[in-house]
Homo-oligomer: A and B are copies of this chain.
């Protein structure tokens, strides 16, 4: 009796989350220390100490109705202003309060901006492999998802196919760099080429094509690699940000959208996104968390811990003969499935208590994602299992 639209989701469910639940069951059966759960992007590094200190300080200093009351649907004005100034300092941009809309995480932000921009039948492009939830977010507004094939083995965006698949109906392009699931960071050169293709296609079709930069992993970059700030390369760029990873607050659902003055139809996009936040039922980003992140703009998570995990896992798996894309960012290792079938490979891995996510969940079969935002001791304990897995092929 549930909606037919939902019944297919219930039948399919999310591979990632199903794995999360299964991991809990296996932990109960085998003991938590004997299950190696690499399935979920749940940060293992604690939030910076300042987060807790500032949260407590706010609770002690500010009036409860200010902390917990309603505010403008777009968020607290002073929070938005502080974020704008912080971005300007970091990236040489010139945002103000009016360019920032606080959102219920990046997922809330993406749904908000898609609701604002997409009419039924409008096309949204993403580069495989990509976060499978994009399909659901686009379906929420009856948009049409257009996937660009993966570029193997470097997993940089396939710009040749991209250029061909842009049509007069293309309303938005979602990019995610550093990337989930590959860990790839798009270079400045790539961004410039992508921007120039978009500029040309906007002219060709006399349309506006919005580039949506989904950036929850911005701060998680290694080896000194630069992550270009996309609003500087293409006017019609909207950034979706989240503090889930940068401050290890994924359960708190706090992030923001950046809508620069330069985007087409700026006033309507801002007004539309503010209204979309409300009518989608978010209403506003959680208030205490807004006030907290505004006090922690110069804080960041301990990236070096993820970096150590990255090296530990990459070196071991490479040594065992697995083909891995060396990640430059995020906290995922993207590995070619032995035997080609990622589903069968994931099932085989589970026999050794290794929980991985099949690439099919990211529109890229034949690979698996290994999330290394975990306890390094678990990584070490998992090595005999990876050895056994390697021996199967």
Where the two chains meet, the residues of A that have a C-beta atom closer than 8 Å to any C-beta of B are 1-7, 9-10, 13-14, 17, 20-21, 40, 42-44, 46-47, 51-52, 55-56, 59-60, 63-65, 67-73, 104-105, 107-112, 115-120, 122, 133, 136-137, 140-142, 207-208, 248-253, 264-265, 268-269, 271-272, 275-276, 278-289
- Of B47, B104, B264, the residue contacting A64 (CB under 8 A) is B47
| Chain B residues positioned under 8 Å from A287 (CB to CB) | 251-252
Whole-angstrom CA separation of A5 from B141 in the bound complex: 10
Question: In the complex, which residues of chain B have a beta carbon less than 8 angstroms from the beta carbon of A109?
Answer: 281
Residues of B within 8 A of A248 (CB): 64-65, 68-69
Complex CA gap A207/B366 in Å reads 44
Are the C-beta atoms of B47 and A68 separated by less than 8 Å? yes
A284 adjacent to B3 (CB under 8 Å): no
Is the pair B252, A6 in contact by a Cβ cutoff of 8 Å?
A: no
Question: How many monomers of this protein are in the complex?
Answer: 2
Q: B117, A3: Cβ atoms under 8 Å?
A: yes
Instruction: List the B side residues contacting A51 at CB < 8 Å.
Output: 64, 68
User: How far is the CB of A214 from the nearest CB of chain B, in Å?
Assistant: 12
Min CB distance A261 to B, Å, is: 15
The closest CB in chain B to the CB of A137 belongs to B281
A275 contacts B10, CB within 8 Å?
Answer: yes
In the bound complex, do residue A3 and residue B141 qualify as a contact, i.e. CB atoms below 8 Å apart? yes
A3 contacts B69, C-beta separation under 8 Å: no
CA distance A282 to B264 in the complex (A): 28
**A285–chain B nearest beta-carbon distance, Å:** 8
Contacts of A1 in B (CB 8 A): 117, 207-208, 264-265, 268-269
Chain B residues contacting A65 (CB-CB under 8 Å) are 42-44, 46, 248
Q: How far is the CA of A153 from the CA of B194 in the complex (A)?
A: 63
